[in-house]
Amino acid sequence: MSVERTFSMVKPDAVAAGQAGAILAMMEKAGFKILALRMTRLTEAQAQAFYAVHRERPFFSGLVKFMTEGPIIVMALERDGAIAGLREVMGSTNPANAAEGTVRKRFAANIERNCIHGSDAPETAEAELRFFFNTADLL
């Protein structure tokens, strides 16, 4: 494996529930270096753009509403095999199917309100990092 960067986000449900610190600790324990991190809040247009790949899905409008309901924490993470590694730490999209010890198993309420986002491939990782961070943030 090689050192990679990936993008992650603590979603509004987890920030509101005070779970952000525990989730960040899980990242650090899993060997991720936090390269950049910021708290922000998505506008409706930003949430629609971030999840544009899902715009035809029946859950899209509910997802946008959820993602705009409160602050989020966005971060750039670095590790050997970071992209697949983060998806492992997150667990399955539906917490009912998530493995023991994963973020979603521990904290997520349901398939929509599932606490955390992580990029799914090198191309999406770069695009999602660019969505939130400048070149200078990532040096």
Q: Which residues bind ligand IDP (CB under 6 A)?
A: 54, 59, 63, 93, 111-112, 114, 117, 120
Using alpha carbons only, give the angle 80, 74, 94 rounded to the nearest 5 degrees: 80
Catalytic residue status for 54: no
Cα–Cα distance for residue pair 22/92, rounded to 1 Å: 18
Closest contact distance (angstroms) between CB of 53 and Mg ion is 8
Amino acid occupying residue 1: M
Report in angstroms how near the CB of residue 83 gets to ligand IDP at its nearest: 11
The whole-angstrom separation of Cα 6 and Cα 126 is 7
Residues in contact with Mg ion by CB under 5 A are 120
H or E segment at 6? strand 3-10
Nearer to Mg ion, 76 or 134 (CB): 76
Closest CA to 53 of 132, 134, 127: 127
Shortest gap between Cβ of 51 and ligand IDP (angstroms)? 6
Residue 125's binding partner out of ligand IDP, Mg ion, none, with CB under 5 to 8 Å set by partner kind:
none
Considering beta carbons, is residue 48 or 114 the nearer one to ligand IDP? 114
Catalytic residue from among 5, 79, 104, 117: 117
Q: Rounded CA gap, 72 and 67, in Å?
A: 8
Nearer to ligand IDP, 55 or 134 (CB): 55
Can you read off the two tokens belonging to residue 7? 């993008």
List active site positions.
Answer: 117
